[in-house]
Amino acid sequence: MTKKATPKPAKTRGKGRGAPKKVPKKAATAKKPSQATARSRGRPTSYSDALAKAICGWVRQGYTLRQIESLANMPSKSTIIRWLGEHEDFQDQYVRAHEVQSLLMLDEIAEIADDSRNDWLERENKDGAVTLVVNEEAISRAKVRIDARKYLMEKKAPKRFGRQVAVTGKDGGPVRLTTVAGVLEEINGAGTGLPDHATTGD
């Protein structure tokens, strides 16, 4: 005796209970360009006197080349460096701009040294009394900021802020340059050291 196969219920496509849910497809989103790619678009690559003047203007205000290249309508750092090697006029303007920047740093050093707002800290003792203690961290940080500016000033304007080394001779007199032949002549003339060729017969 054969068993009759029981028919399987047909799948329903309605909104009834047990109906499969449709998963909406996610809309394709455009990938955002990287920051480097976005900044590189539209950068000027051709040299002009106007761009050179603008770059030097930012340098005089204390901007670095990395900060300048992040500004709108400014060339990249590598482009600016290439222009400095190709255009002597731009190089002269750039050097003078750094000299002006060093003068601004001189003012900044005075401002940092005179700023004593964070030099002291209030500290509560065990008995509840409040005393003032020196803020060593703030003072050390101010010293680092001053030393960094002094170093940059020496590099940016060495003729004005570079360390002057006085070179003098014996007893503060002028420097005397002497050759080896001159030294040998003095030794022979003094009758000491090397023998005189005239007396030895050599």
For the segment 49-80, what is each residue's pLDDT rounded down to a tens digit?
Answer: 999 999 999 999 999 999 999 999 999 999 99
- Report the pLDDT averaged over residues 105-117: 91
In a domain, 157, yes or no: yes
| Contact indicator for 161, 153 with CB cutoff of 8 Å | yes
Convert 60-79 to b/e letters by CB count within 10 Å (16 or more is b): beebebeebbeeeebbbeeb
Confidence check: pLDDT of 47 > 80: yes
Average pLDDT over residues 100-117: 91
User: CATH number for the domain including 114?
Assistant: 1.10.10.60
Q: Please, are residues 118 and 138 in contact by the beta-carbon 8 Å criterion?
A: yes
How many structural domains compose the chain?
A: 1
The residue that leads in pLDDT, 3 or 160, is 160
Residue 162 has pLDDT above 90, yes or no: no
Residue with tokens 């709108």: 72
Mean pLDDT confidence for 144-157: 90
Q: Does position 1 have pLDDT exceeding 80, yes or no?
A: no
Please name the residue that has the structure tokens 């005189």. 196
Look at residue 57 and tell me if it is in a domain: yes
**Average pLDDT of the residues in 2-16:** 54
Asked if residue 181 belongs to a domain, the reply is no
